Structure 1
Amino acid sequence: MSRTCKCPSRASVFTLQPLAAATLVALFGPGQASAAENPALSVKPAADQEAQLGTVTVNARRREETSQRVPTAISVLGSETLETQRIYRVQDIQQLVPSTNVSYFHARQSSISIRGLGNNPASDGLEGSVGVYLDNVYLGRPGMAVFDLLDVDQLEVLRGPQGTLFGKNTTAGVLNITTRKPTFQREGSIQSSFGEDGYWQTQGSFSGPLTDTLAGRISAYRSEDDGYVKNVYNGDDLNGGKRQGFRTQLLFQPSETFNLRWIGEYNEEDSSNGTLALFSTGPTLNGVNRYETLAARAGATLVDGKQRKVNLDSKQQVTVFQGGTSLEANWTLPNDFTLTSISAYRWWDFTPRNDDGLNVPVYYNAGVSVRDKQYSQEIRLASPKDDVFDYVLGAYYFKQDLDNQLAYQYGPQADVWSATPGGALANITSLSDGHIDTDSYALFGQGTWHLTDRLDFTAGIRGTYEEKSAWITRDTPVGGAAVTGGAAAARQGRAGAYDSGDLNQYSFSPSGLLSLSYQFTDDVLGYASVSHGEKSGGVNLSVGAAPTAGTDSLIVGTERINNTEVGVKSTLLDRRLLLNANLFWADVHGYQANVYDQVNRVQYLANAGSVRSRGLELEATALPITGLTVSLNGSWNDVRYTDYKDAPCAPEVSFATGAASCDLTGHQVVGASKYIANLNTQYKWQVDEQIEPYVTASYAWRSRAVGTLDDSEFGQIPSYAIVNLSGGVRLNQDNGVLDLSLWVKNAGDKTYFTSLWNSANGGYSGVLGTPRTVGATARYDF
């Protein structure tokens, strides 16, 4: 039986629509708000600005409250922090928050893990362990957040299970991104940066009233860079490219009791991201290194990836087109109840072209293209906050319709590199199609009893029911020579026709929370909580080992977590010191993690037994002297398998013994650094009322991490530290503030790998971090 992938045709639209300038003039007119009209634009004396730490408002419990009164572990990054530290991508936030890792290969193979949980990218058939929300809309693919952070107001990183208040159930945590809303006062900003390796970025945002009850906002960006990995085969630079996009918004606010916010956005990317550099050729057994031997036999010349070099004979390219729209309505009902409705639609198209990593034609092109559409509807009712008991109730619906296609175009050296009989794979083309429909329904609620003026008890519950239907097919390979015997068997196993039939999964996933918090003083909060979270399973949308292992190997089971946490939040020394700390212990069953199949040479997701995550997290922000802000955070996170007896073996074991599975019980979980420390500082001073110079410095360090699931000694990511520096001056103008700065990222020019991947024949390749980059930025807020 053959099915056709419902992948739409693709035509490049890589030109940002030239409507920004005309639209801005039409919407907001030529006028500008002066500093006198908008006092926030004026440069204030540092002594007045930073006598005390400001209050940070969050929406973590689906109502506005100060972050220091929320009894859960949460890190908040405001727009000023993101701008000061030059953080423009989601994958860089790990330099500012504890217990967080962002694994980025390209937009499809990216993931966020918190407390060592959630490092499971590239599975199209289920969602991530860490939920990503953009303006209250859940993003079904982590890659939907891989664009420049445009006009962001605030980022919140919530650690631990989140399900009793957020739309989608997650087991590891939430990244909540909030962008700036339209304003009824004219304001805007424009920023341009340039740096080494052809780096150039421009962003602009403008907002203002259209009528007395309607305001609009439009934001746009364009970024490009040449790349920082040299391809010695042709001299090209890789891991660079272009990104651009825009967001438009309308805010209708006819009264104090109702508002309606519409958002429409579009983003695109054309890059060579996804370039893997050789990290290790794996084990040498009895004087033979399989990776090096077969590479030489195929005629390949290897280069050391640690020199930021690759040797690729075919094209490396990724294109992404995505967009979406949402409509959020808020009503203030009688007795101060609040009703919220959020309706959203998003689409995401991803197309890769991947090289085999060698400078000989093992395959000309490989990769998985994805076409994804999602719809969601959330309704929440929040009670007034001042009663003895307050609560939030909600209902959520999520639908996803996803198609993918895996393409392999093998070259004449495929059999040599794959160690298959001659003619089995050479010069054939193999296509696989996958499809999955997801329907998710949930009811959730959370209430807080104010037992005394200082003691609160919180309880939350959630029930999620999901239906998933899928199928996977692989066409008969085309091309190549006629083969018989062992070559025919090898071709059938690696590229032969396959049809999974209809695959269905039905699951009910409960979540719950119990929490006690006590306000010891107005500035010190203590809390303790226990929570349970579940995330449904899914289907691997690639054939993998299914022809021999059966269709059950395609099914991924539910991931379940029990989490216990105690913590304290304090604001001390007349609000000049913020000090938060917490201890946590989590047990995970059915942990979903990436597995590499050495025989079929494919990566897929499976349930990796049971995991324990325990640790300590610290966050501190201090104002030791006028104008100086120091932020320090860190974590100790011990994440290990407590039961994983049928794990894949490291190549030094499987090549030596032929073992098909190994016991990794007690081993460290992939991608989880045991120690993380981040230090960020800013010092600014006032020359006069018009001039404010400043300097910033940041230091981000993380200890060694296991690179791949098999925990091979040849796949360990070494510890590394990154230093970023900047300096500049803010100038108060008649109509706004001009900010001019110089900066350097990775000032020590550290060569480091952010993630590793299994390669064929026991080797390991990885994603290189960016080298030292010097640049300058000019920003004007008006």
Structure 2
Amino acid sequence: MASTLAYAQTGELRTGDSLDEIITTAQRRVENQQSVPIALTVLDDNFILDNEIQTLEDLNGSIPNFYATRSVSYGAAPLSIRGIGGANGGGNFYNDEPVGVYIDGVYVARLSVSTSDLADIESIQVLRGPQGTLYGRNSTAGAILITTKESQIQHEGSLRLSATDLGDFSVQGAMTGALSDHITGRLALAYSDREGFGTNTVDDTTPGGSQSFTARGRVSFEPQDNLQVHIIAEHQNRESNPVLIAVTDVGLTGTASPFIQRSDLNEILQSNRFATNDDNYSHSTTNSLTVNGSYDLGALNITTISGYRDWSLNGKQDSDSTALQLFTNSGDIKSEQFSQEIRVASNLDAPLKWTIGAYYLHETTAVNFDIQNFQGLFGLGTDAAFSGQQDTDAYAVFADATYAFDDRLSLTMGGRYSYEHKDFTNDLIISTLTDGTLPLTFMGGATLPAGSIFSNPPQFQDNESFSDFSPRIVLDFQLNPNTLFYSSYSQGFKSGGFNSFGLASAFESENIESYEAGFKTEFAENRLRLNASAFAYDYSNLQIRLPVPTGGVDIQNIGTAKIHGLELETHAKLMRGLMLSANISWLDTEIKNGLISAVSSSVGPFPIGAPLPITTEDTAGNPLTRSPNFSGYFNIRYEKPMGHLKAGMSATLKHQSGVHFLETNQNSPTFSNEAWEEIDIRASLAARNDNWELALFGKNIFNNRHITAVTALGGFPNASVNEPVKWGVEALIKY
């Protein structure tokens, strides 16, 4: 199944005069993308190779209304679709994300996958809009389906090498073939070493680098024609030292403000000179085991997906961008999950097609974390130590059915009932070196004398349950064999949870109602494809993140928001060998009501570690975070045969308008980013039979530097930045 997936932007260039058919599994069955009433983008291995996609972060700017941040630290790079993104970006390690990520059908509970290397990948499908019925597990914004390459009967393999002028180096290799009459296997290995960029002015080291190693083995059994079993085991180890910039001025007198932007920020972005007296690092290890089975009974097909995954991370972050020991945090996270899904689907060529299923997930996440405010200079500030664990059990049953009234008009109805139970414990010890009063979110605003160590209660324990029914209704009309119109209504649900850095009751679930209409069409003898969608969301009980004075973030619920948007994707064979791919998206988001206790942007510098003045902030009228009003992608590629060879050239332009990174205090420039553009180019020479390829490429060739994320960390907001211009060479060999 996975081997038939093709990419809608560059894959078609490699065959014929017309666009290739794009196959998707968005509705849990194999279908032509143009006949599926869902806004989606399918990326194949050609796109991943041509665009140097190593992590999901690298997809930023390539997909309509999709926003991916660079990781600030601790392996978390929040994803956002159509203005809906997780509250994770400031360090809530237990919170679920609204963009569900699935690898070979297994839901990944922790966000570590967004920074994990993508090795030996067959396809990436990005589904936009609530996907709760068929995918569930909090996929209110959308879902990303990652499919690794399948094993083959024929013995074959590949080796890919890549290097850049920044010192980056990567190698990927894979081999596959038959192990016996009914068993095939595949082995994939990958290593990457990103050297980083810039200079740490304190110790003359180079931040921003990473090293990762991935090994994946796959064994597929087909003991009889109607039974398939796939066993996939993977190990990945990743080490990184992210570039962090404190976006506010930090005074040597022991004062700071999260809303006073440092005067030299633009100079730092352009010069690549950073300051930190402690190494920022993030070390993670992931192990996973997936067992997929499919049994064809003729009229029915039974599918089972079992998944086990453990992920551990140890990290440290120096957040003040000075040569002094002002604000650091460190900790380790461990997550272990098991999931089981069973589906039964109709398998007949009949007017009614249906799928029913059940799902279970158990996850345990344990966190030990230490936050030090202004230690080591004048003996001021606070030290906060957290040790907590959350256990989650999630259950769901779902059904989805499509009835074709005739060969043109179809109605789809589905629904999913979800139930989750979370048990949470947290130990919190705060040490103060000056007199101070803690904010209300920490132990009810207790006043702590200088030199005290305070822990009350000794251990915070709580549990909460969440449930929801998420329906889906779709009406689609096939105007002609090449044109589909559709309209849909769906609901999404993201469960509530507990804050990593507080001793408070659980925050509540958030909900979304989605209204969408669109069309998909091909014309000019299938040389031009045009897909468009318009959508409106009613978003309620939003989970937003706010800075906590002692470090970390506090997630709270606010009122409602409205989201409206348009998306347009086009792919055209302009002439033999010349391919144009483009997408544009417009997005309007607005919080309609939501009074919340927060730090006012009018506050001036305050002693680090001291209590912040909390006021009631009205967020009404503010846009949602990470929701650019306009984004665009433009790629043109030309490929020409030359005897037994073929030459290719391509250029890509990506643009995003400015965004905010905090729902409150948007009159301050600290938690925002301006519009940006990046241009990439690539030239290649390859064999006509695709057995080898040599390529030269340039990324961000005009060196457009910009902030990709700002994380709220008390008085020390931190920013991550995009990479500077880099040039590279790549070689690919297949046999």
- TM-score in terms of structure 1 length: 0.85
Superposed CA deviations along residues 427-461 of structure 1, whole A, max 9, x for unmatched, are xx642101000000000010011111110000011
Amino acid at match of 1:324: S
Provide the rounded CA distance (Å) in 2 between the counterparts of 1:164 and 1:47: 35
Match of 1:279 among 247, 250, 267: 247
Superposed CA deviations along residues 660-699 of structure 1, whole A, max 9, x for unmatched, are 12101011111111100001121100011x1100011111
Change in Cα spacing, 1:507 to 1:364, as seen in structure 2 (3 Å) is closer
Cα shift at 1:651: 2.2
Change in Cα spacing, 1:406 to 1:764, as seen in structure 2 (3 Å) is closer
Change in Cα spacing, 1:334 to 1:771, as seen in structure 2 (3 Å) is same
Instruction: State the SS of the aligned residue for 1:304.
Output: helix
User: What's 1:251 paired with?
Assistant: 220
Match of 1:726 among 682, 685, 694: 682
Cα shift at 1:640: 1.4
Amino acid at match of 2:65: S
Contact kept? 2:249, 2:261, Cα under 8 Å = no
Contact kept? 1:257, 1:333, Cα under 8 Å = yes
Provide the rounded CA distance (Å) in 1 between the counterparts of 2:230 and 2:64: 33
Change in Cα spacing, 1:385 to 1:604, as seen in structure 2 (3 Å) is farther
Cα shift at 1:500: 4.8
The answer as to 2:93 corresponding to 1:118 is no
Q: Which has the larger share of strand?
A: 2
Provide the rounded CA distance (Å) in 2 between the counterparts of 1:304 and 1:490: 39
The answer as to 2:732 corresponding to 1:776 is no
Contact kept? 1:107, 1:144, Cα under 8 Å = no
Amino acid at match of 2:115: V
The answer as to 2:355 corresponding to 1:392 is yes
Amino acid at match of 1:527: Y
Change in Cα spacing, 1:227 to 1:494, as seen in structure 2 (3 Å) is farther
Q: Share of identical aligned residues, percent?
A: 24
Contact kept? 2:131, 2:139, Cα under 8 Å = yes
Listed as ranges, the gaps of 5+ residues in structure 1 are 1-39, 41-45, 417-421
Provide the rounded CA distance (Å) in 1 between the counterparts of 2:261 and 2:638: 56
Contact kept? 1:281, 1:292, Cα under 8 Å = no
Provide the rounded CA distance (Å) in 1 between the counterparts of 2:59 and 2:259: 37
Provide the rounded CA distance (Å) in 1 between the counterparts of 2:497 and 2:429: 23
Instruction: State the SS of the aligned residue for 1:235.
Output: coil
The answer as to 2:549 corresponding to 1:582 is no
Instruction: State the SS of the aligned residue for 1:238.
Output: coil
Cα shift at 1:498: 4.6
Provide the rounded CA distance (Å) in 2 between the counterparts of 1:373 and 1:654: 43
Structure 1 ranges of 4+ moved more than 4 A: 288-296, 300-303, 409-414, 483-488, 490-498, 653-659
Contact kept? 2:214, 2:234, Cα under 8 Å = yes
Instruction: State which drifts further: 640-649 or 324-333.
Output: 640-649
Provide the rounded CA distance (Å) in 1 between the counterparts of 2:260 and 2:392: 45
Change in Cα spacing, 1:536 to 1:255, as seen in structure 2 (3 Å) is same
Contact kept? 2:248, 2:258, Cα under 8 Å = no
Instruction: State the SS of the aligned residue for 2:60.
Output: helix
Instruction: State which drifts further: 360-369 or 55-64.
Output: 360-369
Instruction: Please give the residue correspondences for 1:345-360 in structure 2 after superposition, counting only pairs within 5 Å.
Output: 345-360=308-323
The answer as to 2:58 corresponding to 1:99 is no
User: What's 2:54 paired with?
Assistant: 88
The answer as to 2:206 corresponding to 1:237 is yes
Match of 1:524 among 458, 483, 486: 483
Contact kept? 1:151, 1:205, Cα under 8 Å = yes
Instruction: State the SS of the aligned residue for 1:68.
Output: helix
Match of 2:22 among 28, 34, 56: 56
Match of 1:684 among 634, 639, 662: 639
User: What's 2:565 paired with?
Assistant: 615
User: What's 2:706 paired with?
Assistant: 752
Instruction: State the SS of the aligned residue for 1:651.
Output: coil
User: What's 1:329 paired with?
Assistant: 293
CA RMSD after TM alignment: 2.8
Match of 2:589 among 619, 639, 651: 639
Q: Which has the larger share of helix?
A: 1
Provide the rounded CA distance (Å) in 2 between the counterparts of 1:619 and 1:515: 21
Contact kept? 1:440, 1:466, Cα under 8 Å = yes
Instruction: State the SS of the aligned residue for 2:57.
Output: helix
Provide the rounded CA distance (Å) in 2 between the counterparts of 1:492 and 1:113: 43
Contact kept? 1:84, 1:696, Cα under 8 Å = no
Superposed CA deviations along residues 586-607 of structure 1, whole A, max 9, x for unmatched, are 011111222113x333313222
Change in Cα spacing, 1:503 to 1:108, as seen in structure 2 (3 Å) is farther
User: What's 1:564 paired with?
Assistant: 515
The answer as to 2:180 corresponding to 1:211 is yes
User: What's 1:26 paired with?
Assistant: none
Instruction: Please give the residue correspondences for 1:228-627 in structure 2 after superposition, counting only pairs within 5 Å.
Output: 228-273=197-242, 275-281=243-249, 304-335=268-299, 337-363=300-326, 365-409=328-372, 412-413=375-376, 425=382, 430-475=384-429, 477=431, 489=448, 496=455, 498-543=457-502, 546=503, 551-552=504-505, 555-597=506-548, 599-627=549-577
Provide the rounded CA distance (Å) in 1 between the counterparts of 2:688 and 2:46: 17
- TM-score in terms of structure 2 length: 0.90
Instruction: State the SS of the aligned residue for 1:82.
Output: helix
Amino acid at match of 1:367: S
Match of 1:152 among 117, 121, 135: 121
Provide the rounded CA distance (Å) in 1 between the counterparts of 2:617 and 2:30: 49
Contact kept? 1:361, 1:412, Cα under 8 Å = no
Change in Cα spacing, 1:663 to 1:294, as seen in structure 2 (3 Å) is closer
Provide the rounded CA distance (Å) in 2 between the counterparts of 1:486 and 1:740: 63
Amino acid at match of 1:321: T
Listed as ranges, the gaps of 5+ residues in structure 2 are 1-5, 7-11, 439-446, 607-611
Instruction: State which drifts further: 62-71 or 484-493.
Output: 484-493
Superposed CA deviations along residues 401-427 of structure 1, whole A, max 9, x for unmatched, are 11001113566446x6xxxxx6554xx
Contact kept? 2:170, 2:191, Cα under 8 Å = yes
Superposed CA deviations along residues 142-168 of structure 1, whole A, max 9, x for unmatched, are 213422211111111111111111252
Amino acid at match of 1:185: Q
Cα shift at 1:308: 2.4
Change in Cα spacing, 1:423 to 1:342, as seen in structure 2 (3 Å) is same
Instruction: State the SS of the aligned residue for 1:83.
Output: helix
Change in Cα spacing, 1:675 to 1:206, as seen in structure 2 (3 Å) is same
The answer as to 2:77 corresponding to 1:77 is no
Amino acid at match of 1:645: L
Provide the rounded CA distance (Å) in 1 between the counterparts of 2:145 and 2:291: 17
The answer as to 2:620 corresponding to 1:665 is yes
Change in Cα spacing, 1:308 to 1:605, as seen in structure 2 (3 Å) is farther
Contact kept? 1:424, 1:490, Cα under 8 Å = no
User: What's 1:28 paired with?
Assistant: none
Contact kept? 2:269, 2:705, Cα under 8 Å = no
Cα shift at 1:316: 1.3
User: What's 2:598 paired with?
Assistant: 648
Amino acid at match of 2:22: V
Cα shift at 1:341: 0.4
Amino acid at match of 1:697: A
Instruction: State the SS of the aligned residue for 1:372.
Output: strand
Provide the rounded CA distance (Å) in 1 between the counterparts of 2:580 and 2:345: 37
Change in Cα spacing, 1:659 to 1:372, as seen in structure 2 (3 Å) is closer
Provide the rounded CA distance (Å) in 2 between the counterparts of 1:107 and 1:696: 35
Contact kept? 1:278, 1:306, Cα under 8 Å = no
